[in-house]
Amino acid sequence: MTVQNKSSKRGRPRDYDPDTALAQAMAAFWDAGYAATTLDAISTGTGMNRPSLYAAFGDKRTLYGQALNRYHADARTALAEALSPDLPLREALRRVYEHALSLYFSGERGARGCFLIGTALTEAVLDTAARTMLRDALREIDAAFEARIRRATARGELPQDTDPQALAKLVSAVLHTLAIRSRAGEQRAVLEAIVESALDLICRPRIEASRVA
């Protein structure tokens, strides 16, 4: 007589899909933050019991780390696509901001801003891994904007004395403002107006004093 391994029936549900489950767990963290998100909330969101979660992703901290990594990877891909070198700088940056706003307002319970900033920021003081991820992600975003601004300057879209590094940080600062204000409940139309004002400031070539005279 064959003895059936009962343990093989426990754990992951029959329709378990790791990508879907991770996205559902991310949504739970995104809404409530890491500390306030319980394993029960994650279980409800994913449809997986605790043994299933541990078997698939490890403990809560490990699962959160995987969610951060996934968000960072997705954001990197989206940023690279939006900053297409085929577009003028203004249109490329507008695409970045429009994509970000669509993401920030995608929550089912309300606008939730940026997953990285909204959750890792509060964990960064005591969690070295979260701080490192947050710092590296922000620097990577700065670097992507800086490279795109250098290209725009070389094409004559911006004055030759433009400081790409400083301007890139301004572009990033606008992105962070959209993330924070959306989560704080600011209306999307207000944030879209901020985007247009920021684009005017970032992309308008400065007039040389000699030409003004």
Query: Of 100, 99, 109, 122, which is closest to residue 181 (Cα–Cα)?
Result: 100
89-140 per-position pLDDT tens digit = 999 999 999 999 999 999 888 899 999 999 999 999 999 999 999 999 999 9
126-142 per-position pLDDT tens digit = 999 999 999 999 999 99
N residues, the chain: 213
Which are the contacts of 106, defined by CB distance < 8 A and separation ≥ 6? Answer: 112
Distance (Å, whole) CA 77 – CA 74 = 5
Structure tokens given for 179: 């993330």
Start-to-end CA span in the chain (Å): 99
- Amino acid identity of residue 205, one-letter, is P
The domain locations on the chain are 68-205
Residue 27 pLDDT greater than 80, yes or no = yes
Residue 153 pLDDT greater than 90, yes or no = yes
Question: Cα-Cα-Cα-Cα dihedral of 165, 169, 175, 178, to 10°?
Answer: -160
Q: Taking residues 63-77, report their average pLDDT.
A: 95
Q: What is the pLDDT of residue 151?
A: 96
Distance (Å, whole) CA 203 – CA 181 = 23
Q: What is the chain's mean pLDDT, rounded?
A: 89
Q: How far is CA 82 from CA 85, 145, 174, in A?
A: 9, 11, 16
Q: What is the pLDDT of residue 15?
A: 60
68-205: what fold? Tetracycline Repressor; domain 2 (1.10.357)
Compute and round to an integer the Cα radius of gyration of the chain. 21
How much is the pTM?
0.86
Distance (Å, whole) CA 122 – CA 33 = 8
Distance (Å, whole) CA 175 – CA 104 = 11
